Amino acid sequence: MRLFFSTDHVRNSTITNEQGQVLYKVITPFRPFFMKGTSTIWKITPNTPPLPYSTKKANEHEPNIELEPDGEDSDDPDIAPVAEDIHAIQFDGDEEEEEIILDMQDHFAQLAQIEFHSFQSSLIRWCGLNKLGRGEVSTKEFIPSRGITRRTRTFTGPDDRAYRWHLGMRVCKLYLESEPKKPVAQYHRYSLGLAPGKRPRPGFLEINLSKSGSSRENTGTDNHIEHEFERSNLDGDIISPELLDTIIITFIYVEKLRRAREQAGKKDLRWNY
């Protein structure tokens, strides 16, 4: 599965699958460095699919008319008014059809927020959109750092498996603790396509998870979104909506930490020269 980011600034980006279907968007308003910043992650959620266009309203006004057989003319003066009535019924239904089309459009709902703090633990707020529930948890508790260099962040997924984000020099990679040498997710930074034969491409998060770590038991909104994920995954693997949500949110968090280190390193390098 590949999820594409509309910009390389992942905290202000729209996330789509390989078919171009928008799945998430991330918005982070600008704040001065001494103020806390908050990233809001929105998830696409379809409205409850309405019933097919109901003829109830039309039936209330529709006269009980037997149409003339094809190829036969009639001198009945009532035929013309009937045609006018049918046209009026269709016109009256235009507004109702418009409302149905609007009801079928997908909308965004808040999935989570990440409140970044500089001198204390950041916070993740779940907005109750999925089975992960609603509440607030500190990153120190939910995704603590490991190691002397603090380049590793671990968390337990909704599938009860332990995961580990490694904050590399240029990209973040996600591993299962049970398979520490094979990344299950990795970010690929955007490419300008300057090399001969190369085309520009946006950054994308590539996810490869086995079916054993996923749950197919989903209904409603989750079921709709899951179908999009199934079409996105070329390997046929299925990722539960809760697990994918968790991967996206934790990636937004760790990528911000990694880029802060990268920017600090560049400043140090310029200072040294």
d(CA 180, CA 152): 12
Helix, strand or coil, per DSSP, at residue 167: strand
Mean pLDDT of the 121-137 span:
90
CA geometry: angle at 264 spanning 10 and 26, to 5°? 15
Supply the pLDDT for residue 237. 52
Supply the pLDDT for residue 70. 45
Supply the pLDDT for residue 33. 65
Q: Shortest CA distance to 170 belongs to which of 241, 243, 255, 89? A: 255
With cut-offs at 50, 70 and 90, classify the pLDDT of residue 46.
confident
1-to-12, 45, 203, 205 alpha-carbon distances in Å: 21, 20, 13, 8
d(CA 182, CA 173): 10
48-67, pLDDT tens digit by residue? 554 444 444 444 444 444 44
Is the model more confident about 55 or about 8?
8
Residue 205 CB partners (closer than 8 Å, separation 6+): 2, 3, 5, 185, 186, 187, 188, 247, 248, 251
Q: Is the pLDDT of residue 164 over 90?
A: yes
173-208, pLDDT tens digit by residue? 999 999 888 999 999 988 776 667 677 788 999 999
237-272, pLDDT tens digit by residue? 578 899 999 999 999 999 999 998 888 777 654 433
Q: Which two tokens stand for residue 186?
A: 């990795």
77-111, pLDDT tens digit by residue? 444 444 444 444 444 555 555 554 444 467 889 99
Q: What is the percentage of the chain residues whose pLDDT exceeds 90?
A: 42
Supply the pLDDT for residue 247. 96
- Residue whose structure tokens are 């955007």: 190
pTM: 0.69
